[in-house]
Amino acid sequence: MLFRMALNRSLLLNDNRKIAESLLAMGNLYAHTQDYEATSKYYGQALAFAMKAAPRDERFIQMLRNNVAMTYTYMGLHREAAEYYYAGIASTGVPVVKAALYLNLSITQSALGDYGKALHYIGEAEHIAIHYAGVAHLRPYIYVNKGDILLSRGDADSALQAGLQALQLAGAHPPKDLLHEIYTLLGKVYMHKGMPERALGYHRKALALTAGFPMGHMRSSLALGTIYLDIRQYDSAEHYLAAALQQAGGTRLPQELVEIHNRLADLYLATHRYREAVGQLQTATTLKDSAVNIEKMRFVNLMDIKYQTAEKNKELAEKQLLIAQQHAYIVRKNMWIAGLSVAALLVIAGSWLFYGYRQRLQQHREEITAWRARAEGEEQERTRIARELHDSIGGALSTMKMYFSLVRKQHAALAATADYREAMQLLDHTLIEVRNTAHNLMPELLLRHGLPEAVRIFCRNITTGSDLKIDYQYYGFRDRLDGNLELAVYRIIQELVQNIRKHAQATQALVQLSQHHHILSGTVEDNGIGMDTDTARHDGLGLESIGHRISGLHGTFSVRSAKGKGTTVYFEINLQNV
């Protein structure tokens, strides 16, 4: 309440710095309760006001950028976090700030699975910390995170060396959060090296440091529970996993909860509590879907903002048209005084121009409205079908697979028969097909990763599941594009690739996406049997639908093909016209 009162006073005074400080305080309050959705909102607003404040305080701005990025990291939105780190690195020359940003960027890249980039950025942070005395306090944090990255790459020996180096640099009285990270790293290293007793010792030390730190308590309890599960000390495993679940309840981090419920399912399977195991798996699946739905809601909210902006722009255009008409009336009136013949000519010319303008404007609106309605209708139907496949059929198949597993444990002789193995393989194949179909209909990868990465994963899945080998290349993408545009282009690529699979009889294909300034272009090419381009648009090959999609984006596309010589489709969209 006090923070909100301070914010209201700052707004009345129009003091951007004070407004930013009040929003920062509110963000810190929500961060303490681990409500990261609200935290990211207030930190983002604080950053926007700080950048408008005079005089400009770069240290304050960099601190806010880091806060926003760290919050996104806690929420699992690593790509969004990376954008803020990149922006901070590009705009600061302060060594300690730059080193901290490189450190955090390396953590983000590691979470994205790009360990090469992660090691590069941690190396940049290490270089700065070694050469600038004012950054030396970051060295133990750098080495403990370097150890985590090395361990993720499977280099346990180098990870151990980095962890011990961090412990040595931490000194006699290190901060509790640093010591917790070091002990956690050493516990993971020794578990990776097949030394569970030493791993347990370090994780117990880490747990002892987590008073008032629920996220650390949850992660240490989960680590201990997992180790006890691996060494089949099931009572201890259940104790720590239950503690982790209790601590995770207030973190609002569904990824962590999914991991805990999966480990509890493993525990209940191992102790023959099959019904409880099924319940834990179902809870994990629900939480995972919930996390995806949160991403979808962010996407929908973004689309709503874009739509509202477009409506306001349309209203502004109409007002400008009204002003222009009023101005034309005044001109006609003045010209009437000057001379009836000239006035008449101007009235006719002006009316013709405004009529043509209004006709073009109306036609443009109708085209965009019709295209948007078709696209939204298609997406709603895809979403409905995908949800039915994923939730109803996919859920039923998953439960069926779980019960098959229970049967295998209770009837070992049955599990050894060829019929049982064949049935399980058929069930696995069906479950994979249902999930792949659902994901293609409702591209959650697009919402999570953006257009270039979503297309890469789609092409990889096609290559894995068929005889068609796809070479995928992309260039020039730095920031996320408009959500409607990303979805439309993803559907275009998807439809073109499916055409190749169904009709081209091709063994190889090339998919290219490129963004150069405001031009987005794409090429889809195959080595198949080719086609007659004069008739293909009307032969059910989807080219007419693709043409409508691209026209709705004010783009152009061309098709080059000949019998026996493959097909090349090229499209180009001017982002300034979308």
Lowest model confidence (mean pLDDT) among 128-137, 187-196, 251-260, 465-474: 251-260
Token pair of 487 as six digits: 């979805």
What pLDDT does 372 receive? 56
What 3-state DSSP class applies to 93?
coil
Boundary (domain end) residue, out of 401, 435, 469: 435
Same structural domain for residues 338 and 404?
Answer: yes
From 220, 211, 281, 217, select the one nearest 251 (Cα to Cα): 217
Q: Are residues 351 and 453 in the same domain?
A: no
Indicate whether 124 belongs to any domain.
Answer: no
* Together in a domain, 406 and 301: yes
User: What is the average pLDDT score of the chain?
Assistant: 79
Q: How confident is the model at residue 209 (pLDDT cuts 50, 70, 90)?
A: very high
Q: Specify the pLDDT at position 37.
A: 80
Decide if 335 contacts 346 (C-beta within 8 A).
Answer: yes
Q: How many CA atoms does the CB half-sphere of 345 hold within 13 Å?
A: 6
Q: Looking at the structure, tell me whether residues 308 and 359 fall in a common domain.
A: yes
Instruction: Please indicate, yes or no, whether residues 569 and 451 belong to a single structural domain of this protein.
Output: yes
Of 381, 409, 435, the residue that ends a domain is 435
Q: Are residues 371 and 468 in the same domain?
A: no
Q: What is the pLDDT of residues 48-75, one digit of tens each?
A: 888 888 888 888 888 888 888 888 887 7
- Any domain includes 207: no
- Mean pLDDT within 440-458: 76
Please report, for the domain that includes residue 535, its CATH number: 3.30.565.10
Tell whether 351 is covered by a domain.
yes
Q: Where is the domain boundary, 409, 435, 461?
A: 435
What is the CA angle 6-10-16, rounded to 5? 130
In a domain, 536, yes or no: yes
- pLDDT tens-digit series, residues 163-177: 999 999 988 888 998
Give pLDDT, residue 567. 92
Mean pLDDT on 344-360: 53
The mean per-residue pLDDT over the stretch 381-387 comes to 63
**Do 424 and 452 sit in the same domain of this protein?**
no
In a domain, 197, yes or no: no
- Range with the poorest average pLDDT among 208-222, 250-264, 510-524: 250-264
For range 136-141, the mean pLDDT: 90
pTM: 0.53
179, part of any domain: no
pLDDT value of residue 20? 85
The pLDDT value recorded for residue 298 is: 46
369, 362, 299: which is closest to 552 by C-alpha? 369
Same domain, 354 and 462: no
pLDDT at residue 273 is higher than 80: yes
The distance between the two most distant Cα atoms of the chain, rounded to a whole number of Å, is 106
Does residue 320 fall inside a structural domain?
yes
Number of domains in the chain: 2
For residue 443, pLDDT over 50 is answered with yes
Same domain, 518 and 544: yes
User: Do 430 and 495 reside in the same domain of the chain?
Assistant: no
Considering the domain architecture, whether residues 324 and 348 belong to the same structural domain is answered as yes
Average pLDDT (246-257) is 70
Residue 124: is its pLDDT beyond 60?
yes
Q: Which residue has the higher pLDDT, 60 or 308?
A: 60
CA distance linking residue 541 with residue 544, whole number of Å: 8
Residue 110 lies in a domain: no
Q: How far apart are CA 398 and CA 76, in angstroms?
A: 26
pLDDT-derived band at 386, boundaries 50, 70, 90: low
In this predicted structure, what is the pLDDT of residue 22?
85
User: Considering only CA atoms, which of 48, 102, 44, 47 is closest in space to residue 75?
Assistant: 44
User: Same domain, yes or no, for 352 and 459?
Assistant: no
Q: Which domain holds residue 410?
A: 296-435
Backbone φ/ψ region at 450: left (φ over 0), alpha (ψ -120 to 50), beta = left
